[in-house]
Structures are given as structure tokens and as C-alpha cells.
């Protein structure tokens, strides 16, 4: 059922071409207006005496300042603004088996920060404040299916982290459920196969971050049966399945746990709240919170009008990046098994000091102008075309980030690429990655985004 869904784009309800046309049509039809405004003009929001920005209800999220101290790399003490959102939200996909194929009910959803307005989103994408109707709007569509889901309905259920450099210890519930009853297909929703969604992930900014993080948790090899076989998969797909099932690994999982535990114990991360008005190198004006050198990101206020949302018009802060980012995995066959080059990355908003990240994760503008580029950055950027397996621009979550994009890449290393690695890097088979993915706060959202795009056709 799941494998058939993964390997087919044949969809009697909506072809892949139709889905692309549908997204384009919704972009033309849905009225969207995002206007930057002064912070004091944001209705239902206020600035406190320390410069933090909070919702009048005390819910949703806040922009606060943090003081960070760590003994890793060259940057050891800094202050910055960050999103504080302690609520756990739902990121849910509702599925149904039809004629032996699993279909996912996906939404054409507009977020104010999306690069191209409409993107393919999960069935349900809502913070606790949203589905508790703090905004006095309508409850999200299909919420009841997830709130009332029974264990036998659940395919996947995980708490996973959000961006550690932008959010303070933020998690969402990533959940996939399967129902048997007829499901009404509302406006802005379409049935899609997993194969279609995977194919659309290879287009720039078409499948949103929340869809990618939910689907990253599906370990496809768990659903392979002798009846399915591997014949209809591509050579690369079969190699990925082999990497996800084989017991062989260049480094044992026990050693990986010891490696990561040692790094978490070796390096310190101390994070305390501080006034937004007292962050050296940053300034708050009436319209933005921005670094003096205009690097990394800034906070802006916007007024949003979207014609098809639970609330048609509202104000909020958004994080606006100063340049695009790069998130890339290098993979290499070791004794015939693909291994991923994984980084243990410290970010100030992490729950537990470090999370497993792509080989390279950085802002491209900062990396190019840095005296010391990130490890393996040049190798990825100079990779010949024939060694690039995935290469697409992917948006970050448009409900909090304004036009933030990362170039997601998967690059196969040549035979001369060394097995020996710097301290904070290791080789993992796909099987080992999925072991860590089953638990909270191990694989960061940038890594999960690339894993979700693995295509087996």
C-alpha cells in the first residue's frame, strides 16, 4: 500500500501536472497582501519595556532576546533575538487506502512568508493557539480526525524540533493517520500519492517545510514485502533501501551514541533571556530588529490579508533572512553501502546542545565572505553535475519566516573522498539515521528536509 503509493504518480483523482496547475491557479485566485508596518501598528501585539514583542493574549509566540555562551568554534558569546513558542502544534497528514494505494490529503496553503504564496502543506498545520481558537476564528479543517485518532489509525507519531537558530526549544507533533471512512475533500485540498509528493519536492518551493518534516519520519524499508519487491525501483532507490535495512555500517550505532554523548558533555551551551534592548551589535527601530552589520536575519512586523484563511486579516512579526542558505548531505558508498556524512551541530535553541545536521548547513553569503568556510562547503559547491542527486530551493516555514529559502542538495562523493573526518562529523547508514529519527531532538529539521526528498522511483 505505502510502497505502491511511493512508486506511482498515477493518480485517478489528480495527475502531477494537474496538481502543479492547481497550485498555480490558487496562486492567481487567492488574494494575498503582506505589508511591512511599524511594530506599534501591529494590532493585538505590543512591545514590552525590555523590547520584546508579545501577543496581547499571551499566546501564539513572542520575540525575545537571549544571551548565549558556548565554548565551541570561534563564536563563544553573543546575544540575539529568537522566537519563543512553547506550544506544541500539530503537523498532520490524513491518509486513506483507495484501490490498494495510500493517498495523502494535502492542502494548498498560503503562509504570509511564503516565497510563492501557495505551497503543498499537510492536511493539518496548526499551533495550539490556532486549534484552541485564541484568534476567534474557525477551527482548522480536519482537526477532529487527529484529536480523536486511535492507536490503530496512527502510522507515524513523533515530536520533532524546529530550527534551532531561530526558535527557542520548539517542537511540533508530526503525525500521519489512516482512516477507512469516506473523507470530504474540501476546497484547497487534493488527494496525492507519496510518489507525487516526492516528485514535487524536487521543484523549487512547491512542498512546504511542514510536509517535508512529517514525511521524513516514514522509514520506507519498513513497508517493503516480498510481494512488492524492488524491481520497480530505480538503482538509486534500491541502494537507499539497502542502506536502510542492512546491518553493516562503517561505525556502529553504539559508537555513534558514545560520540554524540561525548560531544554534548564536552561542549557547553548556556542560554539565558536578556532584554531585546540590550543586545550588543543589534538595534531595534520602529520597523525592525536588525544587526548593525545587517548579517544573518532581522525581525519585521507585517499586516497580512489572505482571503481563504480561518482569520482573513491579522498582524504579526516575521523573521526575514539576509541571504539564502545551503543545506547539503554528502553520501558515499562504503563497502557497497551508502553512508551519509552527518554533522553534530550546536544551535542556541536546541533542547540538548547538539542535533544531527546535514554535512553543510550555513548561510551562503556569510560562508562565501568568511575567512574560514564551513567544512566541506567548497566540495559541495564545486560538485560536478553528474554527482548531484538532489538540488532544489526549499522554503522554511512561512508562518514565521519571510522568504527564507535553503538550497537543499544531496551530493555523491568520489572515490578519493576521505573516510577520516573532523571531530564533529561521522558516517551513518540510512538505517542508523532512521534509528535516531524515531526519537525526539536527534535529527534537525534541515537534515529531515533532505531525507524526506529521497526518491525511490
The pLDDT tens digits of the residues spanning 368-387 come to 777 789 999 999 999 999 99
What's residue 282's pLDDT?
98
Distinct helix (H) and strand (E) counts, the chain: 12, 24
Percent of the chain at pLDDT > 90 equals 84
Say if residue 133's pLDDT is above 70: no
Whole-number average pLDDT of the chain:
93
Question: CA 72, CA 268: separation in Å to the nearest integer?
Answer: 8
Query: Higher model confidence: residue 134 or residue 90?
Result: 90
The pLDDT tens digits of the residues spanning 321-348 come to 999 999 999 999 999 999 999 999 999 9
Question: CA 339, CA 342: separation in Å to the nearest integer?
Answer: 9
Q: Where are the alpha helices (DSSP H) in 102-177?
A: 128-131, 143-147
- Residue closest to 204 by CA, chosen among 39, 55, 390, 26: 390
What's residue 224's pLDDT?
81
Q: What backbone torsions phi and psi does residue 337 show, to the nearest 5 degrees?
A: -115, 130
The DSSP element (H or E) to which 394 belongs, if any, is: strand 388-395
What's residue 386's pLDDT?
97
Query: Higher model confidence: residue 138 or residue 6?
Result: 6
Q: Is the distance from CB of 320 to CB of 166 less than 8 angstroms?
A: no
What's residue 56's pLDDT?
96
User: pLDDT confidence of 97, banded at 50, 70, 90?
Assistant: very high
Grid look-up 486513506 returns 96
What's residue 364's pLDDT?
85
Angle, vertex CA 409, rays to CA 21 and CA 323, nearest 5: 85
The pLDDT tens digits of the residues spanning 56-79 come to 999 999 999 999 999 987 779 999
What's residue 274's pLDDT?
98
User: pLDDT confidence of 302, banded at 50, 70, 90?
Assistant: very high
- Residue closest to 188 by CA, chosen among 242, 114, 108: 108
What's residue 10's pLDDT?
86
Say if residue 229's pLDDT is above 70: no
- Residue closest to 67 by CA, chosen among 352, 281, 275: 275
What cell numbers appear for 312 in the block? 482573513
Mean pLDDT for the stretch of residues 255-282? 97
CA distances from 386 to 108, 241, 316, 412, 414 (A): 33, 21, 44, 9, 11
What's residue 131's pLDDT?
64
Question: CA 426, CA 342: separation in Å to the nearest integer?
Answer: 5
- Report all structural domains of the chain as residue ranges with CATH numbers, in order of start: 2-30+86-228 (3.90.79.40), 34-70+276-321 (no CATH), 243-269+323-452 (3.90.79.40)
- Residue closest to 123 by CA, chosen among 96, 143, 139: 143
What's residue 423's pLDDT?
97
Which range is least confidently modeled, 60-64, 99-103, 138-142?
138-142
Q: Which burial class, exposed, middle or buried, applies to 259 when counting CB atoms under 10 A from its CB (0-12, 13-18, 19+)?
A: middle
Say if residue 309's pLDDT is above 80: no
- Residue closest to 269 by CA, chosen among 81, 445, 72: 72
Say if residue 17's pLDDT is above 90: yes
Please state whether the predicted TM-score (pTM) of the whole model is above 0.85: yes
CA 60 vs. chain centroid, Å, equals 19
Q: Where are the alpha helices (DSSP H) in 361-424?
A: 364-368, 377-381
Q: Is the distance from CB of 446 to CB of 189 less than 8 angstroms?
A: no
What's residue 30's pLDDT?
84
Mean pLDDT for the stretch of residues 89-100? 95
Say if residue 136's pLDDT is above 60: no
The pLDDT tens digits of the residues spanning 429-456 come to 999 999 999 998 999 999 999 999 999 8
Q: Is the distance from CB of 427 to CB of 347 less than 8 angstroms?
A: no
Mean pLDDT for the stretch of residues 296-313? 87
The pLDDT tens digits of the residues spanning 48-57 come to 999 999 999 9
Amino acid at each position: 500500500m505505502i510502497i505502491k503509493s511511493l512508486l506511482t504518480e498515477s493518480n485517478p483523482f489528480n495527475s502531477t501536472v494537474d496538481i502543479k496547475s492547481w497550485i498555480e491557479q490558487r496562486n492567481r485566485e487567492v488574494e494575498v497582501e503582506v505589508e511591512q508596518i511599524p511594530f506599534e501598528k501591529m494590532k493585538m501585539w505590543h512591545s514590552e519595556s525590555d523590547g520584546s514583542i508579545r501577543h496581547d493574549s499571551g499566546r501564539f509566540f513572542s520575540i525575545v532576546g537571549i544571551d548565549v555562551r558556548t565554548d565551541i568554534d570561534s563564536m563563544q558569546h553573543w546575544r540575539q533575538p529568537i522566537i519563543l513558542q512553547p506550544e506544541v502544534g500539530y503537523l498532520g497528514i490524513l491518509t486513506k487506502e483507495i484501490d490498494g494505494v495510500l493517498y495523502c490529503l494535502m492542502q494548498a496553503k498560503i503562509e504570509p512568508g511564503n516565497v510563492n504564496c501557495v505551497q503543498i502543506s499537510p492536511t493539518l498545520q496548526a499551533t495550539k493557539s490556532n486549534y484552541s481558537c485564541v484568534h476567534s476564528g474557525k477551527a482548522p479543517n480536519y482537526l477532529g480526525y487527529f484529536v480523536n485518532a486511535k492507536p490503530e489509525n496512527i502510522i507515524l507519531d513523533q515530536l520533532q524540533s524546529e530550527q534551532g537558530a531561530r526558535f527557542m526549544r520548539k517542537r511540533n507533533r508530526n503525525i500521519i493517520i489512516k482512516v477507512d471512512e469516506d473523507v470530504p475533500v474540501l476546497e484547497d485540498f487534493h488527494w496525492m500519492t507519496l510518489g507525487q509528493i516526492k516528485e514535487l519536492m524536487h521543484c523549487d518551493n512547491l512542498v512546504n517545510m511542514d510536509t517535508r518534516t512529517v514525511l521524513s519520519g516514514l522509514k520506507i524499508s519498513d513497508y517493503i514485502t516480498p510481494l512488492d519487491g524492488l524491481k520497480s525501483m530505480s538503482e538509486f532507490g534500491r541502494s537507499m533501501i539497502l542502506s536502510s535495512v542492512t546491518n553493516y555500517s562503517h561505525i556502529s550505532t553504539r559508537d555513534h551514541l558514545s560520540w554524540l554523548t561525548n560531544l554534548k558533555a564536552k561542549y557547553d551551551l548556556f542560554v539565558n533571556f536578556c532584554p531585546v534592548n540590550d543586545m550588543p551589535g543589534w538595534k531595534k527601530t520602529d520597523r525592525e530588529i536588525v544587526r548593525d552589520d545587517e548579517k544573518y536575519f532581522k525581525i519585521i512586523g507585517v499586516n497580512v490579508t489572505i482571503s481563504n484563511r480561518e482569520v482573513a486579516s491579522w498582524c504579526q512579526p516575521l523573521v526575514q533572512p539576509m541571504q539564502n542558505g545551503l543545506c547539503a548531505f554528502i553520501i558515499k558508498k562504503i563497502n557497497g553501502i551508502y553512508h551519509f556524512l552527518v554533522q553534530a551541530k550546536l544551535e542556541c535553541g536546541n533542547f540538548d546542545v547538539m542535533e544531527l545536521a546535514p554535512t553543510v548547513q550555513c548561510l551562503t553569503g556569510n560562508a562565501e565572505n568568511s575567512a574560514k568556510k564551513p567544512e566541506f562547503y567548497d566540495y559541495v559547491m564545486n560538485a560536478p553535475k553528474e554527482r548531484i542527486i538532489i538540488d532544489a530551493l526549499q522554503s522554511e516555514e512561512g508562518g514565521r519566516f519571510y522568504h527564507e529559502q535553503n538550497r537543499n542538495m544531496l551530493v555523491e562523493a568520489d572515490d578519493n573522498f576521505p573516510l577520516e573526518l573532523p571531530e564533529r562529523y561521522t558516517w551513518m547508514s540510512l538505517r542508523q539515521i532512521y534509528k535516531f529519527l524515531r526519537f525526539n531532538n536527534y535529527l534537525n529539521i534541515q537534515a529531515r528536509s533532505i531525507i524526506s526528498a529521497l526518491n525511490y522511483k
